[in-house]
């Protein structure tokens, strides 16, 4: 069975948006990192379904099997449109990296659709990495993309997996292969000179105290210090916020330690 055959599609006002739906029960929506897709959560979906949850793993616009944008959009609005189309929610939103930003943006812009938030490798939309390691990767991604060097771009992209204090040689090759394949698939949808139609959600940290639902920041202990500090700050600002760390892993903590990640996530869901 191909991955595409497992997907359903929501016809938005600007193309079809793909998602994988499994299980039944209280709704959990999984939101992937930038340049990858719903397959990032292959290690989480069965555990959540077995625990009695309905799970939607979305391919956000411009990623995976979802349409690219041809007009201004916000990922939070896309997600709200999908949930309203399905007459679903409020949902627990679980996001990694860019997906974590989408989760916090959605709870700010569409609070009626959100029951709780888990954000990993992310804080709020204004956060910018200041460490030289992350900025170095970002610069290499921009350089290789502009040069059309796909393999060079993928080599830089997978450096996010180990984090600053390890190398790709320290990571299970299967994890690196999965990240590369997802990145390659999404990158193939785009051209270096295409217009970026995404519209940011503004003043997100200034508005974070408005978040009234439970919020968990869950991060790898090998994330840059400024990322961990921003997550702590977010958790301390939200009235029902808390922060947890999984030691010994970096940005893709759910890939490196899926059982520990799943255990913490399921414990959080049981408190709701």
Measured CA angle at 248 (ends 244, 251), to 5 deg: 70
Measured CA angle at 249 (ends 247, 253), to 5 deg: 110
197, exposed or middle or buried, with CB in 10 Å at 0-12, 13-18, 19+?
A: middle
Give 27's strand partners. Answer: 54
Residue-wise pLDDT tens digits, 215-239: 999 999 999 889 899 999 999 999 9
- Cα-based torsion angle of the residue sequence 132, 171, 22, 59 in order, rounded to the nearest 10 degrees: 40
Superfamily of domain 3-129+196-270: Alpha/Beta hydrolase fold, catalytic domain (3.40.50.1820)
Please answer whether residues 221 and 260 qualify as being in contact, where contact means their C-beta atoms are separated by less than 8 angstroms.
no
Residue-wise pLDDT tens digits, 13-58: 999 999 999 999 999 999 999 999 999 999 999 999 999 999 999 9
Residue-wise pLDDT tens digits, 116-173: 999 999 888 777 788 888 899 999 999 999 898 999 999 999 999 998 889 999 999 9
User: What mean pLDDT do residues 100-121 have?
Assistant: 97
Q: What is the pLDDT of residue 1?
A: 41
Q: What is the pLDDT of residue 216?
A: 98
Please answer whether residues 129 and 226 qualify as being in contact, where contact means their C-beta atoms are separated by less than 8 angstroms.
yes
Q: What is the pLDDT of residue 4?
A: 61
Q: What is the pLDDT of residue 98?
A: 95
| pLDDT surpasses 70 at 196 | yes
Residue 98: its H or E element:
helix 98-109
């Amino acid at each position: 069975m191909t991955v595409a055959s497992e997907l359903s599609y929501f016809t938005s006002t600007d193309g079809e948006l793909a998602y994988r739906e499994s299980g039944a029960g209280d709704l959990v929506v999984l939101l992937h990192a930038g340049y990858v897709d719903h397959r990032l959560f292959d290690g989480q979906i069965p555990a959540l379904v077995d625990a009695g949850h309905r799970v939607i793993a979305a391919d956000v616009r411009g990623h995976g099997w979802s349409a690219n944008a041809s007009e201004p959009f916000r990922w939070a609005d896309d997600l709200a449109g999908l949930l309203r189309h399905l007459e679903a929610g409020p949902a627990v939103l679980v996001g990694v990296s860019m997906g974590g930003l989408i989760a916090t943006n959605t709870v700010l812009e569409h609070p009626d659709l959100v029951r709780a938030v888990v954000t990993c490798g992310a804080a709020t939309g204004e956060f910018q990495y200041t460490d030289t390691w992350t900025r170095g990767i970002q610069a290499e991604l921009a350089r290789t993309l502009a040069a059309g060097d796909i393999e060079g771009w993928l080599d830089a992209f997978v450096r996010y997996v180990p984090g600053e204090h390890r190398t790709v040689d320290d990571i299970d090759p299967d994890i690196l292969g999965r990240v590369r394949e997802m990145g390659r698939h999404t990158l193939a949808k785009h051209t270096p000179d295409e217009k970026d139609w995404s519209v940011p959600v503004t003043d997100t940290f200034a508005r974070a105290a408005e978040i009234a639902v439970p919020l968990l920041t869950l991060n790898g202990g090998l994330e840059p210090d400024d990322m961990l500090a921003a997550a702590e700050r977010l958790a301390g600002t939200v009235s029902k916020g808390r922060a947890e760390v999984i030691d010994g892993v970096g940005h893709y903590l759910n890939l490196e330690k899926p059982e520990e990640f799943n255990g913490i996530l399921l414990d959080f869901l049981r408190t709701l």
